[in-house]
Amino acid sequence: MAQWVRYFRSGRGIVLGGLVAAAALAGGLVSADRAVRLASAPLTAARLEIQRKQAPPAPAALQARLDELAAAYGEEVGIAVTDVTQGWTAGVDHERPYPQQSVSKLWVAIAVMKAADEGRLDPYGWVTLTEEDRSVFYQPVSYRIGAGGYATPISDLLRRALVESDNAANDKLMRELGGPEGVAATLEGMGLTGVKVGAYERDLQALTAGLVWQADYGIGWNFQAAREALPMATRQAAMDAYLAQPLDGTAPGEITTALAALSRGELLSPASTEWLIGLMSQARTGPRRLKGGLPAGWTIAHKTGTGQDFRGASVGINDVGLITAPDGHVYAVAVMMRHTRKPVPERLAFMQSITRAVAEQWMRDDAFQTAD
């Protein structure tokens, strides 16, 4: 662990240091004693359910605003907002699974960090990517694979997966944990039974398109060519099956519950928590999604998801993360679009309206506390 912490402090990660810092990350309202208890007590699915039942009701004004925004958008959307400190959750269709797409990279990263905390995986360990490790769509790390492969530390794959959303990096991380089943087992052991990865990125995308993955699809535009060669009926049937029961399907409320637990320091060691959220804050994807609606003084640590386009619609257009108010109060937010035909500017405007609604709720709470 000492080496792991030195890595965080090397400039490639963020460490505030100690359990009190982890408490501050959770909104500044968690005592050091409680932070110690949270870090030492194992999280379970039962404990998460107790937390949900004990949480106060969501603010009526925020719930009404989310309902209004979702109705005005006019398409199927899932929204969840969880107050990290108080525990309440407001939402729209937030208990039904939605396709995650690259949001699932977040759960892979958490599983990797948990394995590192437990000594089952060395974050300094080097792995070699070969031709067999190529994935699909965005995968810049695969361009470095030569005749002898490409050797890189696990920590770099984590950065690529979370900051750049590199599919090959994410798939390699999954292999280091024993594949999708290994990731699922690690998450279940942490109490996160409600979030799913489902499949390797390349397998998920192939199945969604009506294909079965083969190695040459990872080269150039071979995947796209094979997809275009399929009969339209085959592609439609595959897409319909995915939308009806997505392999990576997870409810927005489950996502914000997990993010809130991460922020409170309940999932990982303090150092791992700090570093993971630090990587999320560096994400290069989706700068105009949730982030675009934040007022001055707010920050975000997030992960986006973007699925395939088909017949004029896009699948799995998502953004989830932790947004922090100027006073340090943290909210976990998830906005998910199952199947949208809206133009991109309208999608972005909708996501931005959700973060503005959260900021407005914080201002109401702040004004109430000031008056009190």
| Prediction pTM value | 0.89
Residue tagged 């503005």 (tokens)? 356
- What would the pLDDT profile of 81-121 be if each residue is shown by its tens digit? 999 999 999 999 999 999 999 999 999 999 999 999 999 99
**How, if at all, do strands 150-153 and 89-92 pair?**
unpaired
Residue 145 has pLDDT above 80, yes or no: yes
Work out the pLDDT band at 20, boundaries 50, 70, 90: very low
Q: Is 335 helix (H, G, I), strand (E, B) or coil?
A: strand
Q: Which fold has domain 2-371?
A: Beta-lactamase (3.40.710)
Q: Which two tokens stand for residue 288?
A: 């105009």
Which pLDDT value is given to residue 371? 55
Residue 136 has pLDDT above 60, yes or no: yes
Q: Which two tokens stand for residue 14?
A: 């963020």
For residues 82 and 67, the answer to whether their CB atoms sit within 8 Å is: no
**DSSP-H helix ranges across 210-251:** 222-228, 232-244
Residues 110-120 as b or e (16 or more Cβ within 10 Å = b): bbbbbbbbeee
Work out the pLDDT band at 43, boundaries 50, 70, 90: confident
Residues 264-301 as b or e (16 or more Cβ within 10 Å = b): bbbbbbbbbbbbbbbbbbebebbeebbbbbbeeebebb
The pLDDT > 90 percentage for the chain reads 82
| Lowest-confidence region among 24-28, 277-281, 288-292, 352-356 | 24-28
Instruction: Give the C-alpha separation, 185 to 190, whole Å.
Output: 9
- In this structure, the number of other CB atoms found within 10 A of the CB of residue 369 comes to 9
H or E element that contains 198: none
- Where exactly are the structural domains of the chain? 2-371
15 conformational bin, left if phi > 0, alpha if psi -120 to 50, beta if neither: beta
**Cα dihedral value 314, 320, 325, 331, nearest 10:** 130
Which pLDDT value is given to residue 46? 73
